[in-house]
Amino acid sequence: MAYLFTSESVSEGHPDKIADQISDALLDNFLAFDPKSKVACETMVTTGQVILAGEVKSKTYVDLQQITREVINNIGYTKGEYQFSGDSCGVISLIHEQSSEINQGVDREVREEQGAGDQGMMFGYAINESDNYMPLALDISHKILLELAEIRRENDQITYLRPDAKSQVTIAYSDDHVPQYIDTIVVSTQHDAFDEDDDRMLAKIKEDVIGILIPRVMAKLPERIRQLFNEDIKYHINPTGKFVIGGPHGDTGLTGRKIIVDTYGGKGAHGGGAFSGKDPSKVDRSAAYAARHAAKNLVAAGVANEMLVQVSYAIGVAEPTSIFVDTYGTAQVDLSDGEIATKVKSLFDMRPFAIEDRLKLRNPIYLETAAYGHMGKAPVTVKKVFESPYNGRIETEVELFTWEKLDMIEEVREAFDL
């Protein structure tokens, strides 16, 4: 008998994602002008207000207000009727200097001996059911909202969209864990006020989502994934009714409150640490990226069809306290999961400095991670420009999503005799 599995995503205009993007934009600006910056920045957004808090140790100074307002405007909160606008909201900063007691456990004279910025466990996951080795329900959920944002910015086919939105996809699987069909799609999108009655408004939104949005999403998917869409899909479009009040006016947003959307949509596991606003000395972020890099390359190399990699740390200690692997019984090599974990340890240096160096994490690469998932996006090299009244102008070329590169496949195959 088939079973169902569901994952959700939220748009860049969701209040929690606004907070994540502000935190990561601030981080990027600190790193652009001082790559050694230590940053742990939290953001709260609500009606007409942004509150910044956290700890920073940096040789540079950035204009927190200007960066915050630019992020909000770029998302699309530019109108007074949203009750939240980059041009008019208040921005309160409560950021202070990082504790010297934490910093003494991280910095070392020998850079390779850099200690972990905190204790904890981090997970990376990969599965071969999609081309980017991501869980399929989450991948489709992200793509629905990415396309919805594209339609909103075009302001052509659908002209009433506002920035806040959520999606959810339920997929039916066979008992041997193969996707069979999409059972349910949920889309809730913020919209302008309509002149006509609520029933006609909701009917119009449902018609546009099913008739315009979903076909555009399907057109960008591989044929084998398109075949999972069928006429029997159950659609729930704005199921609570009208959705005019949204964004920070409808719901307070906080950094780090969408960690499952950020990672694997409920598949695999999560160590509990959020990512956005944290520089890579915080292993909550960097080790989660490194574990994804390892899991993805191992699955792509054919070691297993599905894999979870856990790495754990003690604060101030460079070497991980453990590395764990779970292949869910899908291993394609004649080794136990413990034996696979031993090989992972030899293949992937999980010390914090080694991770930063290998994945080039001391660059301003983080704003792009803060919406539609930190995992599963294509690695790409881009030019970024940072301007500051205090630091001048910097133009730099950076690699985004380095942890998604399949650059260890040959080493993995050699180590596992594949």
Cα–Cα distances in Å, from 248 out to 41, 72, 163, 190, 245? 19, 11, 11, 12, 9
242 is in an annotated binding site: yes
164 is in an annotated binding site: yes
Q: In the 8-state DSSP scheme, what is residue 186?
A: E
65 is in an annotated binding site: no
98 is in an annotated binding site: yes
243 is in an annotated binding site: yes
Strand ranges across the sheet with 38-46: 90-97, 49-57, 38-46, 253-254
274 is in an annotated binding site: yes
Burial 70-102 (b: 16+ CB within 10 A, else e): ebbeebbbeeeebbbbbeebebeeeeeebeeeb
152 is in an annotated binding site: no
> In the numeric block, which tokens belong to residue 230?
């069928």
378 is in an annotated binding site: no
282 is in an annotated binding site: yes
14 is in an annotated binding site: yes
Distance CA 354, CA 351 (A): 5
Number of neighbours of residue 214 by Cβ within 10 angstroms: 19
Please state the separation of Cα 101 from the chain's center in Å: 30
258 is in an annotated binding site: yes
168 is in an annotated binding site: no
204 is in an annotated binding site: no
165 is in an annotated binding site: yes
Distance CA 386, CA 361 (A): 17
Binding-site residues for K(+), in ranges, read 42
Residue list for the binding site for ATP: 14, 164-166, 242-243, 251, 257-258, 274, 278
Q: Which residues are annotated as a binding site for Mg(2+)?
A: 16
> Known binding site for L-methionine: residues?
55, 98, 251, 282
Q: Could you tell me which residues are annotated as the binding site?
A: 14, 16, 42, 55, 98, 164-166, 242-243, 251, 257-258, 274, 278, 282
